[in-house]
Amino acid sequence: MEITLVPLSQSPHEKSRVLEWALDLWGDHYPSYTQQDWIDFYSNSTISTYESWLGQGQELVYIAKLNQEVVGTIALVDFDELEEFRHLKPWIAAFIVNPHMRGTGIGTQILTLLEEEARSLGIEVVHLWTEDQSAFYLKRGYQIVAPTKLGTLNIFVMRKKFSDT
């Protein structure tokens, strides 16, 4: 199974599909991020510069494809909604595997490809947060920075330094 990552800017017609996945998964789950925020997020990513990491104002969303089928999506962004962690950059965000393909190893491949892309952009460390997938990330070399709260949710802020891998 060879997965490829394609910038959403090269496949803007896929925006509605990944937006639908995001809204189904998180639409009303995170009160600080509205449906309009998700729409704006995916729209902004279709006009972002993917050739270099600017470190500010970028939302790089990638579509993961197996042959021509969209099997997931993942993003690299300059900030996340956690105010107390805004000094940390960049963030892996909006990581979704097609619900019908979860548990097949595709998620690991997508994450690895994004990490390779981040390194190619000169990024040495990435951050993310999760409420229920910390074991997945720990197995892949991420470390817990801090347990914290997002509204009423208990989450883990995590990071991976590429120089340690």
Strand partners, 73: 63, 96
**142 to 14, 18, 49, 91, 139: CA distances (angstroms):** 29, 25, 27, 13, 7
- CA–CA gap between residue 151 and residue 155 (Å, rounded): 10
**85 to 28, 45, 50, 127, 158: CA distances (angstroms):** 22, 22, 24, 10, 11
pLDDT digits (tens, 9 = 90+) for 91-117: 998 898 988 888 888 999 999 999 999
- pLDDT for position 29: 63
Task: Kindly report the average pLDDT of the chain as a whole number.
Answer: 85
Q: Could you tell me the pLDDT band of residue 30, with boundaries at 50, 70 and 90?
A: low
Please report which residue ranges of the chain form alpha helices under DSSP H.
15-26, 35-45, 106-120, 134-138
- Domain map (residue ranges) of the chain: 3-124
- pLDDT for position 55: 73
User: Using an 8 Å Cβ cutoff, are 132 and 161 in contact?
Assistant: no
- pLDDT for position 28: 62
- pLDDT for position 66: 92
Q: Which residues contact 120 (CB under 8 A, 6 or more apart)?
A: none
Q: What is the mean pLDDT of residues 157-163?
A: 92
Greater confidence (109 vs 1) lies with 109
pLDDT digits (tens, 9 = 90+) for 52-87: 887 777 788 999 999 888 999 999 988 766 777 878
Q: Is the pLDDT of residue 160 over 90?
A: yes
pLDDT digits (tens, 9 = 90+) for 8-21: 888 888 888 888 88
Query: What's the fold here for domain 3-124?
Result: Aminopeptidase (3.40.630)
Strand partners, 149: 154
- pLDDT for position 46: 79
Please report which residue ranges of 27-155 form alpha helices under DSSP H.
35-45, 106-120, 134-138
Given 3-state DSSP classes, what are the helix, strand and coil percentages for the chain, each rounded to the nearest 5? 35, 30, 35
Could you say which DSSP state residue 70 is in?
E
Q: Is the pLDDT of residue 33 over 90?
A: no
Q: What percent of the chain has pLDDT over 70?
A: 94
pTM: 0.88
